[in-house]
Amino acid sequence: MHRTEIALGMAGGILLFFTVQGYDIMPVIFFIALIGGFILLAKARPGHKSFAAPVNNTQSGVLINFDDIGGQEIAKNELREALEFIKDIKRLNQLGIRPLKGILLSGPPGTGKTLLAKAAAQFTDSAFLSAGGSEFVEMYVGVGAQRIRQLFQQARQQARAAKKESAVIFIDEIEVLGGKRGQANSNLEYDQTLNELLVQLDGLTNSDDIRILVVAATNRIDILDPALLRPGRFDRQVRVDLPDKNGRLHILKLHTRNKPLAGEVDLETIAADTFGFSGAHLESVANEAAIMALRENRTELSDIHFRNAIEKVIMGEKLDRLPNNSEKKRIAVHEAGHAILSELSQPGSVASVNIASRSNALGYVRQTQAEDIYLYPSDYLKEKIAVALAGAVAEEITFGNRSTGAASDFKAAVGYTKQMIYGGMSKLGIVSPDDLPQELLHQTITAILREIELTVGQTLNRRKNLLAAFSRLLLEKECVSGSEFRRLLAQASAPLP
């Protein structure tokens, strides 16, 4: 018999004896249960089991390398340069270069930060271990620090087991454990966890048998503790931004290489229509297009599948709610106003106009642009304000009143107006946003909006026939493509300016 079974048997016999003798054994049972609970908690502590499992550096059975990641050429080049130091350890020692200990990837969600970390592990032929920042945070003081120690220990063990000389540790959402210290006075667990990470980073040297590189990702670099970002810890900060047009085209090619495309599908046009999309968005577009083709029992993905997939990713699935006839007519007029002003200000900017309800939108105009824009001059912002106000103005011209459907448009218009003011493009000149009186800010915003609203009203009044014709077309077809809308504009009596 096992010792545990013998001990339990003896304890049970002793308790039974005292019970027969008339003793109250409940305090003893409570004390034994309390000790047993502490033993179970101790066994459940992170030192007894792995919480950050090794991650296979594959996706669909294929090793991930930098060529499999599109749209991040600058980030990839900077990351490759940093990783070269890890690969050539002999040259590193010859030149007296200390190893890079950490690389911080910062940027919006879905831009490929995790894929870059996996590609870094493949590039350096390293073991790869991944963990999320939230896995280190517990209510019990000391648990997070112990998990940090365990993570580095696991990385070394995994590398030795795989007979590799280096390991890459990827920590996603590092802002959870790496936030500025002293923010949580009631609980020092966050600070202790960060302190342990700093200690582990400081302990990495060239003489280690297993070289460890920490790659972390965040989209809130502004809240990270300065001690974490100083040289000698996270030596490189790599910005992973949203892809430009060429990057989006590369990503689309990667995600459609295993999908049969119809001859009319032009990935370059789709890349131009998806300004502001991340790599995750583009992957979802390709996947949704394939799902739509499957629903229709098609053997190829056509252009219409991609168009519908883009709208679904942006706005969500179509809803069952159906506006009544008068509401639908108002929605058509509203969206027609947006589309007309958009095309007049930037020819070719309308990708599609839809009055089918999706998510919280009863209708919408999907806009695109020929080239990615990163600097916004005052004329561009005024055009964006005009497009935002055009829906409500079109309603007032047609029905003599406005509706609550323009609330989000007005919010967007005010946002563009504030950009003009804070950028020194208003009559106020250069201003300090923090010192600008609210009353003066309100008056300036109102003046800019009224001036642009008056111009929009004049423009749409001159094109009442076009507004009415396009509204009827929307009511008839529900969704009109940008090319079809431009053909209607070309036939209209009022030519484009």
**Residues 89 and 12: beta-carbon distance below 8 Å:** no
**Spatial separation of the C-alpha atoms in residues 353 and 322, rounded to whole Å:** 17
**Residues 204 and 197: beta-carbon distance below 8 Å:** no
**Spatial separation of the C-alpha atoms in residues 313 and 285, rounded to whole Å:** 7
CA-based angle 311:313:314, to the nearest 5? 65
Sequence length of the chain is 497
173 as an active site residue: the answer is no
Based on the number of CB atoms within 10 Å of its own CB, is 165 exposed (0-12), middle (13-18) or buried (19 or more)?
A: middle
**Spatial separation of the C-alpha atoms in residues 362 and 353, rounded to whole Å:** 12
14 alpha carbon, distance to own chain's centre: 62
**Spatial separation of the C-alpha atoms in residues 293 and 381, rounded to whole Å:** 39
**Spatial separation of the C-alpha atoms in residues 333 and 313, rounded to whole Å:** 25
Q: Count the Cβ atoms, other than its own, within 10 Å of residue 284.
A: 18
**Spatial separation of the C-alpha atoms in residues 277 and 492, rounded to whole Å:** 34
Place of tokens 């831009």: 111
Residue 185's SS3 state is coil
Catalytic choice (135, 175, 335, 343): 335
**Spatial separation of the C-alpha atoms in residues 374 and 480, rounded to whole Å:** 29
Q: Taking the CA atoms of the chain, what radius of gyration do you get in angstroms?
A: 31
Q: Per-residue b/e over 380-407, b at no fewer than 16 CB within 10 Å?
A: ebbbbbbbbbbbbbbbbbbeeeebebbe
* Token pair recorded at residue 38: 């502490």
In what helix (H) or strand (E) does residue 479 lie, and over which residues does it extend? strand 479-481
321-329 contacts at long range (C-beta below 8 A, 24 or more positions apart): 321/357, 322/357, 323/357, 323/362, 327/362, 328/355, 328/475, 329/471, 329/475
Q: What residues act catalytically?
A: 335
